[in-house]
Amino acid sequence: MAYRKTAAEVRRLEAARERLVECATQVVAEVGWAQASVTAVADAAGIAAGSVYQHFPSKAALAVEVFRRAASREVDVLAEVLRSTDGSPVQRLARGVQVFARRALENRGLAHALLAAPAEPSVGAERLDFRRRYHALFAEVVREGIDAGLLPRQDGQVTAAALTGAVGEVLVDPLGAGRTPAPDPEDLLAELTALALRCAGARPESPP
Amino acid sequence: MAYRKTAAEVRRLEAARERLVECATQVVAEVGWAQASVTAVADAAGIAAGSVYQHFPSKAALAVEVFRRAASREVDVLAEVLRSTDGSPVQRLARGVQVFARRALENRGLAHALLAAPAEPSVGAERLDFRRRYHALFAEVVREGIDAGLLPRQDGQVTAAALTGAVGEVLVDPLGAGRTPAPDPEDLLAELTALALRCAGARPESPP
DNA sequence: GAATGAAGTGAACCACTGTTCAGAGCATCA
DNA sequence: TGATGCTCTGAACAGTGGTTCACTTCATTC
């Protein structure tokens, strides 16, 4: 006889899948892609290794899903800040960098996974796309700044790439753990913001 | 009876080791760490897989040696430029960035391997050290620039990290191959130099 | 030229992981 | 409640790639 899944059943399945993705994300944030074996992820989610394949056709597919979700969250947040309608392009740029950096500092493991941790090729490809989206967002604001006469003429794409690279590099080292006294996060943020503005060529604020 | 290696024999051995390292470097530059299996490297050097273990205790040891050599070459070149005695700190910084970038563009595969390509943990650790050395060099010049009143007050370490990150990010994308029309290298270099100077806060050159 | 010992070989070994699959456990339907 | 079909399990399987080792090859010594 036709066997039809009940609504509750479907919900339960989706919840299981959801839980799997969340646990996988956590594992990846904690130990990196390389150490996040199917077994480790399944254990974290409290299911058997084989059950992973009920939800995803392969480990790579799960990894990509994990990356996409986390990356999209970040891109969305950044987009919201950069495209907000209040403040000059330069002010938005500053806020964007701060948000980018603050979020990374608040979830270092995840930031490291998104930005730098060694990963299998499929995730690597996803990461390239992630970076492109970041570039596009920053490039947009830089362009607005140029058009508004607030920033000097420059290749927005290059500046945008530099901004993500700069912030990433500054963050990743502290992220990777080992660093002398560990600089105060707020100082780091202020320093980064100033750096980003110089990078884009914004004039130092004139006194009020 | 005591068996003593003749001088020629010793030389031959060292040459073989040398050749192995060079071939491995080339393989890595061409296909990345992940694809550079012991077999592939041995094939490239024209020896059997097992013979690799005459020269190195493990694949990781060989990989580290490959990385160290290439990285040291780059660090040395950069150090020479940045520490040269002619030109202001700002001018040296500009030249340093150009040299860094130009060398990367001239050997994209190797640059990618050094800066970004996924690698086993032992190489990853080496890469952190490599980056630290870059940071230290840039930080030194930035500090000189500040002391000379040419650059605004700033955290040299952060700026230095940003410079390597920025240059790396800008280069790695083009490096990774896929990019629309592929920007002219000279334009890219000019753009990068300008960006680096802004990044450090150097005033735009006043007219002559 | 025979004895000796190191370098070099490459097939076999082994550890590690992603993936499969036959069966157990349950929910659904008649 | 029994029949059916789905989910879940976890041990077995398979591909990969680093490492080993019995053996060959070749240089050295007497």
* Chain B residues touching residue A204 (CB < 8 angstroms): 152
Domain A7-200 -> CATH class: mainly alpha
pLDDT grade for A208, boundaries at 50, 70 and 90: very low
Strand C interface, B 30-69, C-beta < 7 A = 46-51, 54
Whether A38 sits with its Cβ under 7 A from any strand D atom: the answer reads no
| pLDDT greater than 70 at residue A112 | yes
- Quickly give A88 CA vs C17 C1' distance in Å: 52
Distance CA B69, CA B73 (A): 6
Distance CA B165, CA A172 (A): 10
Mean pLDDT value across chain A: 90
**What digits encode the pLDDT tens for the residues B173-198?**
754 454 555 678 899 999 999 999 99
- State residue B123's pLDDT score: 94
- State residue B84's pLDDT score: 96
Distance CA B109, CA B112 (A): 5
> Which residue among B158, B168, B173 places its CB closest to the CB of A195?
B158
> Which residue among B118, B121, B162 places its CB closest to the CB of A195?
B162
Strand D interface, B 23-82, C-beta < 7 A = 37-39, 49-50, 53, 58-60
Residues 6+ apart with CB under 8 A from B71: B114, B126, B127, B130, B133
- State residue A185's pLDDT score: 85
- Quickly give A65 CA vs C26 C1' distance in Å: 29
- State residue A78's pLDDT score: 98
**What digits encode the pLDDT tens for the residues A73-98?**
999 999 999 999 999 999 999 999 99
Contact yes or no for A124 and B118 at CB 8 A: yes
Q: What is the DSSP string of B64-113?
A: HHHHHHHHHHHHHHHHHHHH-SSS-HHHHHHHHHHHHHHHHHHTHHHHHH
- State residue B208's pLDDT score: 34
- State residue A175's pLDDT score: 47
HEC per residue, chain A: CCCCCCHHHHHHHHHHHHHHHHHHHHHHHHHHHHHCCHHHHHHHHCCCHHHHHHHCCCHHHHHHHHHHHHHHHHHHHHHHHHHCCCCCHHHHHHHHHHHHHHHHHHCHHHHHHHHCCCCCHHHHHHHHHHHHHHHHHHHHHHHHHHHCCCCCCCCHHHHHHHHHHHHHHHHHHHHCCCCCCCCCHHHHHHHHHHHHHHHHCCCCCCCC
Whether A59 sits with its Cβ under 7 A from any strand C atom: the answer reads yes
Cβ-based interface (< 8 Å): residues of A facing B: 34, 118-121, 124, 128, 131-132, 152, 154-155, 158-159, 161-170, 173, 176, 178, 187-188, 191-192, 194-195, 198-201, 204
**What digits encode the pLDDT tens for the residues A9-59?**
778 889 999 999 999 999 999 999 999 999 999 999 999 999 999 999 999
Cβ–Cβ contacts within 10 Å for residue A120, how many?
A: 15
Tell which residue, B104, B81, B198, has the closest CA to residue A145.
B198
- State residue A8's pLDDT score: 73
Mean pLDDT of A119-128: 91
DSSP B50: G
Q: How far is B16 from chain A (nearest CA, A)?
A: 31
Cβ–Cβ contacts within 10 Å for residue B38, how many?
A: 16
Q: What share of chain B is helix, strand, coil (3-state, %, to 5)?
A: 75, 0, 25
| pLDDT greater than 60 at residue A181 | no
Please name the residue whose C-alpha is nearest to the C1' of nucleotide C28: A3
Conformational region of residue B207, where left means phi above 0, alpha means psi within -120 to 50, and beta covers everything else: beta
Token pair in block for residue B130: 């490599």
- State residue B172's pLDDT score: 79
Residues of chain B with pLDDT under 50: 1, 175-176, 178, 206-208
Please name the residue whose C-alpha is nearest to the C1' of nucleotide D11: A50
Torsion angle, alpha carbons of A27, B63, A126, A117, to 10: 30
| pLDDT greater than 50 at residue A114 | yes
Contact yes or no for A169 and B162 at CB 8 A: yes
